[in-house]
Amino acid sequence: MSPGWPVYDDESQYRRIVAYLMPGETLYAVYDCKGVGTGFVGITDRRVIFYDQGMLARKRAMVSLPYQHISAVAVADEGVIFQSGEVILLTSFGRFSFEFRSPDKADWVHRFILGQIVAPKHPSPSTGL
């Protein structure tokens, strides 16, 4: 992982996400969201994990979306590229929308997730895996 990772908006949100990481999972970012339903989103090398404030299960819950279940990622277009803070995920579980506090964060999340779902899996030069 590069120096400076993970990045986060709020240390208490970061600590909440860390508690749900799997062994060996790498956390890159925890970003606060605005709007109804989602409190914050964590981006790892394996999944998107977010705190749902009762929109899905009528209870507060930490929700995981593994990348293999994400079929599309979109960024809202308000007429100017990457001026929106909203990222939309289409998954086998349904549609999820996250409104980040800045377009830069939405852009990074969009590009990272896109790379996870469309990048071909090449063998590592050092391990052959």
Q: Which domain holds residue 77?
A: 7-118
Is 79 contained in some domain? yes
Is 44 contained in some domain? yes
Pairing between strand 47-53 and 60-66?
Answer: antiparallel
What is the maximum alpha-carbon separation in the chain?
47
Is 129 contained in some domain? no
Average pLDDT, the chain: 84
Task: Of 30, 108, 120, 37, give the one whose Cα is nearest residue 75.
Answer: 108
Per-residue pLDDT, 61:
85
Distance from C-alpha of 30 to C-alpha of 105, rounded to nearest angstrom: 10
Per-residue pLDDT, 83:
65
Is 23 contained in some domain? yes
In the chain, how many domains are there?
1
Confidence of residue 27 (pLDDT cuts 50, 70, 90): very high
Is 1 contained in some domain? no
Is 126 contained in some domain? no
pLDDT tens for residues 82-118?
Answer: 567 899 999 988 899 899 988 899 999 999 999 999 8
Is 125 contained in some domain? no
Per-residue pLDDT, 79:
58
CATH number for 103 = 2.30.29.30
Q: What is the tally of helices (H) and strands (E) in the chain?
A: 2, 8
